């Protein structure tokens, strides 16, 4: 195969007439050579004839946006444009969101797609998808369908090129989506559709037509069990799995007791064949990626948190109006706002008020499920640590705690087991307790449950995974739900010493 001036392809084949009869304007040059226009339609037709040609996106697309794509992102986007229904299993932190945006934009420029519905977790609707669409396809209109049913309906019907919605929101406005002209569905963190018996799965299955595009993205397909592949395969390639779930389970699992099933030795290969067509890049394969990738996830505070946060903020505004603000007072009051954001706040008389942390916990659980290695979670406040670890234990996620009241010998044992044993999967750490001198390279993902106000602590804590002995590229994820958290993260990212700017930061947050 030879590409001629980015417009045509010279192919050497045994039977040129096999091509000239199905592709208009193709020309037979000799007994085994044919020239074909290099367009998307032609590329798809050739793929149907088992002739492996690349997507024209690789040479005939401008790749708009603030940043140029890495090589693996070009390859991923090319794969997506050549596979109408497919999987992208690129690891977390490899930039698969941008790849999907470029691929979708290219299909729009070719007239193959009219509107795109992005289905993803609440925590990344703005921080990942809306922000990345602004960065990589700023010429496209974007809206987020979140809020009341009427608000969602209005947004769905607004005509935006890209509409972003959370999983459960799809059911709320399914009729509007069905009539909204969407012909490309992108499902991010697609393991939420592993169970084909749920209403969520059935709703999406009804919305996707035979001629629609569907890209399902997750870094960890069937991570918990081989049976989890069934729902995903049924959406993308239903002929690759049996009609009924029980038959699939029998293919990949064997029954030990009445209530115990274990994967068969052949399960991995069976799952691989079912989850096709697919592309996967690990972070370690992406040689052009930086060694540390930083991302953000917005987690909406619960109504109870919002109420207490706003009540405390207004009280602080009144205090500021009546007296001078010192750095010490600003730090104490700011800490209260951060405690509410994280899930538990100390009252003036020493008691603790606990809040519902389901939104923040769900975002963390999604990160843990997507991570290919172990995970460090830095939590600044002790009572928030207790809340979090209780939830992890209930969900069967093995974890250990490192904080000030854990003895030195106990810490040594926990660190050793985290580094060398399968469990614990997660280490929950109070940042000040393990920010220096500890190697935790069994993890390649760091999650900040809430920000620290110390720039040094932040940098040193992240360095626990990014040091000698680390075999994988790393990701740092910031969870933020309040204005106070967002501003502190912004200062940490800009390497601004927060303590020296504490009074100005405090006044900005109150304003």
Side-chain-side CA neighbours of 279 within 13 Å: the count stands at 22
Residue range of the domain that includes 23: 2-53
Here the tokens at position 169 are 């929101």
Quick check: 488 and 306 in contact, CB under 8 A?
no
Residue listed under structure tokens 């992005």: 118
Could you tell me if residue 435 is inside a domain? yes
Residues 194 and 113 in one domain: yes
Q: What is the pLDDT of residues 194-212, one digit of tens each?
A: 999 999 999 999 999 999 9
User: Mind giving me the DSSP string for 85-145?
Assistant: EEEE-PPTTS-HHHHHHHHHHHHHHTTS-SEEEEEE-GGGIIIIIIHHHHHH-TTS-EEEE
Q: Structural domain tally of the chain?
A: 3
292 three-class SS: strand
Query: How many other CB atoms are found less than 10 A from the CB of residue 346?
Result: 15
Could you tell me if residue 330 is inside a domain? no
Which CATH number fits the domain that encloses residue 463?
3.40.50.300
Looking at the predicted structure, is the pLDDT value of residue 5 above 90? no
Q: Give the C-alpha separation, 256 to 335, whole Å.
A: 52
Residues 142 and 112 in one domain: yes
**pLDDT, the chain, mean:** 91
Residues 45 and 75 in one domain: no
Contacts with 352 (C-beta within 8 Å, 6 or more apart), sequence order: 344, 345, 346, 383
Residues 375 and 242 in one domain: no
Residues 401 and 444 in one domain: yes
Looking at the predicted structure, is the pLDDT value of residue 414 above 90? yes
Residues 15 and 94 in one domain: no
Could you tell me if residue 421 is inside a domain? yes
Q: What is the pLDDT of residues 286-330, one digit of tens each?
A: 867 677 889 999 998 988 899 989 998 888 888 776 667 788 888
**Residues 412, 416, 422, 427: is their CA dihedral positive or negative?**
positive
Could you tell me if residue 443 is inside a domain? yes
Check residue 318 and give its pLDDT.
Answer: 80
Q: Give the C-alpha separation, 132 to 66, whole Å.
A: 10
> 231-235, 271-275, 440-444: lowest mean pLDDT where?
440-444
pLDDT band at residue 436 under the 50/70/90 scheme: low
Check residue 238 and give its pLDDT.
Answer: 95
Last residue of a domain, one of 285, 319, 338: 285
Could you tell me if residue 348 is inside a domain? no
> 52-56, 142-146, 226-230, 437-441: lowest mean pLDDT where?
437-441
Residues 371 and 488 in one domain: yes
Query: How many other CB atoms are found less than 10 A from the CB of residue 204?
Result: 25
Q: What is the pLDDT of residues 121-139, one digit of tens each?
A: 888 888 789 989 999 999 9
Residue listed under structure tokens 């091509």: 19
pLDDT band at residue 172 under the 50/70/90 scheme: very high
Last residue of a domain, one of 285, 315, 335: 285
Residues 411 and 484 in one domain: yes
Q: Which of 160, 145, 71, 68 is nearest to 108 (CA)?
A: 160
Residues 46 and 175 in one domain: no
The share of the chain scoring above pLDDT 90, in percent, equals 61
Which CATH number fits the domain that encloses residue 260?
3.40.50.10810
Helix axes 40-48, 71-82, angle to 10 degrees: 70
Last residue of a domain, one of 253, 285, 317: 285
pTM (whole model) above 0.85? no
Check residue 9 and give its pLDDT.
Answer: 86
Q: Give the C-alpha separation, 411 to 421, whole Å.
A: 15
Q: What is the pLDDT of residues 321-349, one digit of tens each?
A: 666 778 888 888 899 999 999 998 877 66
Check residue 345 and give its pLDDT.
Answer: 86
Q: What is the pLDDT of residues 153-171, one digit of tens each?
A: 999 999 999 999 999 999 9
Residues 23 and 90 in one domain: no
Looking at the predicted structure, is the pLDDT value of residue 13 above 80? yes
183 or 356: which leads in pLDDT: 183
Could you tell me if residue 328 is inside a domain? no
126-133, long-range: CB within 8 Å, 24+ apart, which pairs? 126/298, 127/295, 127/296, 127/297, 127/298, 128/97, 128/188, 128/295, 128/296, 128/297, 129/97, 129/162, 129/164, 129/188, 130/164, 132/97, 132/98, 132/101, 133/101, 133/162
Here the tokens at position 372 are 């290919």
Looking at the predicted structure, is the pLDDT value of residue 435 above 70? no
Could you tell me if residue 114 is inside a domain? yes
Looking at the predicted structure, is the pLDDT value of residue 232 above 90? yes
Residues 33 and 80 in one domain: no
Residues 39 and 137 in one domain: no
Could you tell me if residue 58 is inside a domain? no
């Amino acid at each position: 195969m030879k590409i001629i001036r980015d417009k045509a392809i010279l192919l050497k084949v045994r039977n040129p007439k096999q091509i000239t009869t199905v592709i208009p304007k193709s020309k037979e040059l000799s007994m085994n050579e044919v020239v074909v226009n290099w367009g998307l339609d032609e590329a798809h037709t050739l793929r149907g004839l088992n002739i492996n040609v690349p997507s024209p996106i690789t040479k005939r697309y401008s790749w708009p946006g603030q940043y140029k794509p890495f090589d693996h992102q070009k390859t991923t986007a090319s794969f997506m444009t050549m596979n109408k229904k497919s999987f992208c299993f690129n690891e977390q932190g490899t930039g698969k969101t941008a790849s999907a945006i470029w691929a979708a934009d290219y299909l729009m420029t070719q007239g193959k797609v009219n509107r795109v519905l992005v289905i993803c977790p609440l925590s990344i609707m703005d921080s990942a998808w809306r922000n990345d669409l602004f960065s990589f396809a700023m010429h496209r209109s974007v809206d987020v369908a979140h809020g009341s049913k009427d608000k969602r309906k209005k947004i769905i019907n607004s005509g935006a090129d890209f509409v972003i919605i959370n999983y459960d929101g799809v059911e709320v406005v399914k009729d509007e989506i069905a009539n909204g002209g969407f012909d490309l569905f992108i499902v991010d963190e697609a393991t939420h559709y592993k169970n084909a018996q749920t209403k969520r799965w059935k709703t999406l299955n009804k919305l996707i037509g035979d001629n629609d595009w569907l890209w399902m993205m997750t870094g960890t397909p069937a991570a918990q069990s081989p049976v989890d592949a069934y729902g995903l395969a049924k959406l993308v390639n239903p002929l690759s799995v049996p009609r009924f779930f029980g038959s699939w389970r029998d293919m990949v699992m064997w029954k030990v007791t009445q209530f115990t099933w274990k994967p068969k030795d052949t399960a991995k290969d069976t799952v691989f064949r079912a989850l096709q067509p697919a592309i996967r890049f690990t972070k370690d394969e992406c040689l052009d990626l930086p060694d540390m990738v930083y991302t953000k996830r917005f987690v909406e505070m619960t109504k109870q948190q919002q109420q207490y946060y706003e009540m405390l903020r207004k009280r602080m505004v009144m205090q500021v109006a009546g007296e001078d603000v010192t750095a010490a007072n600003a730090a104490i009051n700011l800490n209260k706002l951060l405690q509410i954001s994280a899930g538990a706040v100390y009252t003036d008389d020493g008691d603790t008020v606990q809040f519902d942390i389901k939104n923040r916990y769900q975002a963390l659980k999604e990160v843990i499920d997507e991570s290919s290695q172990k995970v460090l979670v830095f939590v600044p406040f002790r009572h928030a640590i207790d809340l979090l670890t209780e939830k992890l234990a209930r969900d069967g996620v093995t974890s250990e705690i490192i904080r000030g009241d854990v003895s030195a010998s106990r810490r040594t044992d926990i660190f050793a087991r985290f580094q060398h044993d399968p469990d614990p999967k997660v280490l929950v750490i109070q940042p000040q307790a393990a920010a220096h001198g500890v190697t935790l390279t069994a993890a390649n993902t760091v999650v900040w449950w809430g920000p620290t106000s110390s720039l040094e602590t932040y940098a040193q804590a992240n360095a626990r995974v990014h040091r000698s002995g680390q075999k994988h590229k790393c990701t740092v994820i910031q969870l933020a739900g309040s204005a106070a958290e967002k501003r502190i993260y912004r200062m940490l990212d800009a390497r601004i010493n927060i303590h020296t700017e504490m009074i100005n930061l405090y006044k900005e947050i109150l304003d």
